[in-house]
């Protein structure tokens, strides 16, 4: 039976922080966690304003007994994301929204019993796992039940590898991404989503010591858009963290938009909001005052993504950059020189998530894809090899063709980038690769497939009651590997290079875990694009132009 009690911690910089202790008598030993929820890490003057690090003064204290508001006006966002996982957790009710008070974070800390007076010694601070959620920079919240870190942290203590876990909210959608020259001239910066995350990292480095975490031993982790964010933070010239974990996402999947495209998006937003002919001041006032849900709805079709930003920095890379780096060149990623190690991996069918963008084009997609490949910059032989490799033909039924198209998008967007990052960075930092292959056990279109976000459901232990013994074994083994990585240990035997060959930990199916050479035949991945890239001028980058062009609905590349 789970129990929750309140507790108060005296933080040297914040003052009294009221949190909760959660214990579960069904788990042996009856070890609990201490949680501090909804702590505001930055303040905002308005929804587009630069975030300002929260200062506390050490006098007023903080009530951190309940989750804070989310940054997207989507009260049912948690259930929507769980539907992508294909299983819902017990509802905790809608999560509140705030335009200006949602830059908050949650801290989960292990305690061996439910003693309120227990605290780790200041000379024995715990490693920190700082997690950035995904959601395409449009949706998501650190306070969704699937990101509750109580079980994850409890397990870390039980395995003798205790950590402190932190989850972070950051601005999404228009407030996180909309920018233009005139907005910047008014003091509104670009890339609020990434700047908020950077501010949260700064907050953790400054304040986590008072919660038992080691500010010098931070692992920044993220999934999907969160992983893409981590790859951008790895470009910082200033050291920000000790280790990084990229789960199903890199900046090769979502490169930053050029400034010119951002200006076009802003022009589209101005038109969608009926602000043509208005002054800059009038436009900004309307952008700041319009109802948040209405703003999101009216700008739904406007391309909004991180943009190229020299200040942060946020820059673009190509596949060629990473492969050139291993033959004498330098991959232009500053973090490769100050980040100690990287864990990177994917799910076998991450590409299913692109179905959200292609669903309206499903009818006749087999023929449309074949036509696009044959009219692309690939020559006829190369196009035919790609189509035959994935068994895509014009007369396939729509369901079959849809899945096979998503397989190609999986390989260019998720699988190939993990190979490139490992290839380009392993000579400069310790690199550990995993391949998650445990199939989805729940009813839905992707049952039996290892779909996007499924690794999150397993890693954080929140779906354990709905898994069988073998699946729970995979979930626990995955978590233990991450605990080892976060605490500076080798996450699995035979990690790194073995006999000159890079290896990967394959997790699943049915509880299986094995370290193998990181090649398609051993990891359950496909070699089609890898082989074709050797024949195509421009290699994987050209294939990316062609396949991502189809995804965007652009004319054949």
Q: Are 525 and 533 in contact (CB under 8 A)?
A: no
Confidence of residue 94 (pLDDT cuts 50, 70, 90): confident
Asked if residue 120 has pLDDT above 60, the reply is no
Confidence of residue 428 (pLDDT cuts 50, 70, 90): confident
DSSP 8-class letter at 349: B
**Residues facing 321 on adjacent strands:** none
- What domains appear along the chain, each with residue ranges and CATH number? 2-339 (3.40.50.1820), 359-406+529-542+544-552 (no CATH)
Nearest to 256 by CA among 224, 303, 223: 303
Angle at 149 between CA 147 and CA 150, to 5 degrees: 135
Q: Helix, strand, or coil here: 33?
A: strand
Which residues neighbour 24 within 8 Å (Cβ) at sequence distance 6 or greater? 1, 2, 3, 30, 32, 154
Residue % of the chain over a pLDDT of 90: 87
pTM of this structure: 0.96
pLDDT tens digits along 190-206: 999 999 999 999 999 99
Q: What is the pLDDT of residue 29?
A: 54
Q: Using the 8-state DSSP alphabet, how is residue 412 labeled?
A: I
How is 517-538 classified by DSSP, letter by letter?
ESSHHHHT---HHHHHHTTSTT
Residue 528 has pLDDT above 60, yes or no: yes
Q: Which residues are 170's β-sheet partners?
A: none
Continuous segment of H or E residues that includes residue 84:
helix 77-85
Contact (Cβ atoms closer than 8 angstroms) between residue 350 and residue 449: no
Q: How many CB atoms lie within 10 A of CB 29?
A: 9
For residue 25, the 8-state DSSP code is T
Characterise 375 by phi-psi region: left (phi > 0), alpha (psi -120 to 50), beta (else): alpha
Percent of residues, the chain, with pLDDT higher than 70: 93
Question: Is residue 377 annotated as a catalytic residue, yes or no?
Answer: no
pLDDT at 228: 98
- The per-residue pLDDT for range 38-86, each reduced to its tens digit, is 999 999 999 999 999 998 877 678 999 999 999 999 999 999 999 999 9
Give the list of residues 6+ apart from residue 502 with CB closer than 8 angstroms, or none: 422, 423, 426, 431, 433, 517, 518
Q: Distance between the two ends of the chain, CA-based, in angstroms? A: 58
Length of the chain: 557
pLDDT of residue 328: 46
Mean local confidence (pLDDT), 288-300: 97
What is the mean pLDDT of the segment spanning 542-553?
96
HSE-up of 497 (CA within 13 Å, CB side)?
A: 11
Is the pLDDT higher at 473 or at 30? 473
Kindly state the tokens that stand for 115: 């003693």
What is the model's pLDDT at position 493?
79
- 143, pLDDT greater than 90: yes
Within 8 A by CB and 6+ apart from 260, the residues are none
Q: What is the mean pLDDT of the chain?
A: 93
Query: Of residues 143, 180, 224, 248, which has the active-site annotation?
Result: 224
């Amino acid at each position: 039976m789970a129990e929750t009690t309140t507790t108060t911690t005296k933080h040297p910089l914040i003052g009294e922080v009221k949190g909760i202790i959660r214990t579960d008598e069904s788990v042996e030993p009856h070890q609990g966690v201490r949680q501090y929820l909804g702590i505001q890490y930055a303040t905002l003057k308005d929804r587009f304003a630069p975030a300002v690090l929260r200062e506390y003064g050490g006098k007023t204290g903080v009530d951190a007994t309940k989750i804070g508001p989310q940054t997207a006006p989507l009260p049912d966002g948690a259930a929507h994301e769980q539907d992508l996982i294909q299983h819902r957790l017990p509802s905790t009710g809608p999560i509140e929204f705030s335009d200006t008070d949602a830059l908050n974070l949650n801290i989960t800390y292990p305690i061996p019993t439910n003693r309120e007076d227990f605290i780790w010694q200041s000379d024995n601070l715990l490693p920190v796992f700082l997690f950035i959620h995904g959601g395409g920079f449009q949706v998501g919240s650190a306070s969704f039940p699937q990101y509750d870190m109580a079980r994850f942290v409890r397990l870390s203590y039980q395995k003798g590898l205790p950590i402190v876990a932190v989850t972070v909210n950051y601005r999404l959608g228009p407030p996180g991404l909309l920018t233009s020259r005139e907005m910047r001239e008014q003091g509104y910066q670009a890339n609020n989503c990434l700047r908020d995350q950077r501010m949260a990292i700064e907050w953790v480095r400054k304040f986590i010591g008072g919660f038992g975490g080691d500010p010098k031993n931070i692992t920044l982790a993220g999934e999907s858009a969160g992983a893409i964010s981590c790859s951008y933070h790895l470009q910082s010239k200033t050291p920000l963290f000790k280790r990084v974990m990229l789960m199903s996402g890199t900046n090769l999947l979502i490169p930053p938009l050029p400034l010119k495209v951002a200006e076009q998006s802003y022009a589209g937003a101005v038109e969608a909001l009926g602000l043509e002919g208005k002054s800059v001041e009038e436009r900004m006032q309307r952008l700041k005052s319009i109802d948040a849900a209405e703003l999101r709805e009216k700008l739904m079709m406007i391309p909004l993504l991180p943009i190229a930003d020299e200040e942060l920095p946020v820059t673009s890379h190509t596949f060629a950059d990473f492969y050139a780096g291993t033959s004498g060149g330098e991959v232009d990623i500053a973090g490769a020189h100050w980040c100690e190690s990287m864990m990177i991996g994917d799910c076998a069918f991450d590409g299913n998530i692109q179905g959200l963008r292609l669903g309206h084009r499903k009818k006749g997609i087999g023929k449309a894809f074949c036509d696009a490949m044959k009219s692309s910059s690939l020559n006829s032989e190369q196009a035919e090899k790609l189509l035959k490799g994935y068994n895509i033909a014009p007369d396939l039924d729509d369901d079959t063709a849809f899945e096979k198209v998503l397989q190609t998008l999986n390989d260019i967007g998720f699988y190939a980038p993990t190979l490139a990052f490992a290839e380009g960075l392993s000579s400069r930092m310790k690199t550990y690769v995993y391949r998650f292959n445990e199939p989805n056990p729940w009813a839905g279109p992707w049952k039996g497939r290892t779909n996007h976000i499924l690794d999150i459901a397993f890693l954080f232990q929140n779906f354990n009651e709905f898994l069988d013994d073998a699946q729970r074994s995979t979930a626990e083994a995955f978590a233990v590997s991450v605990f080892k990585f976060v605490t500076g240990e080798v996450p699995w035997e035979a990690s790194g290079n073995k006999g000159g060959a890079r290896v990967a930990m394959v997790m699943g199916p049915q509880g299986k875990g094995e370290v193998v050479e990181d090649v398609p035949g051993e990891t359950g991945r496909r070699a089609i694009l890898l082989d074709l890239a050797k024949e195509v001028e421009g290699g994987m980058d050209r294939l990316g132009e062609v396949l991502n062009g189809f995804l965007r609905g652009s004319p054949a590349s």
